[in-house]
Amino acid sequence: MFLYIIGLVAFWFVFRWYRELARVPNKGEKYVYITGCDSGFGNLLARHLDKLGFCVIAACYTEKGEDELKKVSSERLNTVHLDVISTDSVNKATAFIKTLVGEKGLWAVVNNAGVSVPSGPCDWMTVDDYKSMLDVNLIGVIGVTLSVLPLIKKARGRVVNVASVFGRISAFGGPYCVSKYGVEAFNDSLRMNMSAFGVKVLCLEPGFFKTSVTDLNLLRKNVKTLWDNLSEEIKDQYGHDYPERANVTLEKNVATLLDGDLMKVVSCMEHAISALHPRTRYSPGWDAKFLWLPMSYLPTWIADKMLLKDMAKPTGSIL
């Protein structure tokens, strides 16, 4: 019986691998809109899809990002300025895309733009801290998607949302996990709504990768900025050496988990865009597959103990 089960599992993986090899035809006629192309995943994806023959519309936050991307790309690639928290900026980008794609519609939008700070214990945060991140990581995703959804429905194309494995499990405090849980919920509801129109909605849940949003200097500065704005009462509760202990935890946990191979994520993005039969969800990164996702299925009290074990503790902690 056990051998039959192993055989069925092996057959399923071989079948899935073979089925996922097929790619969509006429790539040169398909437009792909990517946000957050100044650096990181978005920049690599724009260049990768351009080499594969797609018509890329790369949205950058800075003029420098646009200029540098144009230098290393073909004439097929178009850039556009985009600030995802600005309705005016989103609308201008959408107007440009409508003119560009015409009656063909838009094959795919990749919601890649995002930020990782401020992050820290929830009682260090203000409502404005939550709003600032939700505006980018969640409302920005929704706004960009809705702005081009009629064009995607016309092409029966794809919506690719970059969430995070921390949209499945909250491994730390602050608004980041909240925003990614929101992306997961938006992705799932949109997927069901759009299935009737032939639109596929896919989600990426990467683990820790070495990008600008996981830069240790940025994360250390984030801890210092938040700490400096705290009341003396909260500082006393955590202990005045807490920032140093938190930074040691960052070095120990985050630095050791960072994966420098960004193409693991970009390959999943490309598959979601170009595969005839894409997956509903992708979990690039060894930590996502073998650490965080399995942990998310554990009973809460077990997962909490595992997570709290490696966290810096407040001086007055009862744990």
Residues 70-128 pLDDT 10s: 999 999 999 999 999 999 999 999 999 999 999 999 999 999 999 999 999 999 999 99
State phi, psi for 255 to the nearest 5 degrees: -60, -35
Entry field: residues in the chain: 319
Query: Sign of torsion, CA 193 144 99 200?
Result: negative
Tens of pLDDT, residues 135-156: 999 999 999 999 999 999 999 9
Q: How far is CA 258 from CA 180, 206, 212, 301, in A?
A: 19, 11, 12, 26
The DSSP string of 28-83 is: GG-EEEES--SSHHHHHHHHHHHHHT-EEEEEESSHHHHHHHHHTS-TT-EEEE--
Tens of pLDDT, residues 285-295: 999 999 999 99
Cβ within 8 Å of residue 13, ≥6 positions away: none
**Residues forming the active site:** 176
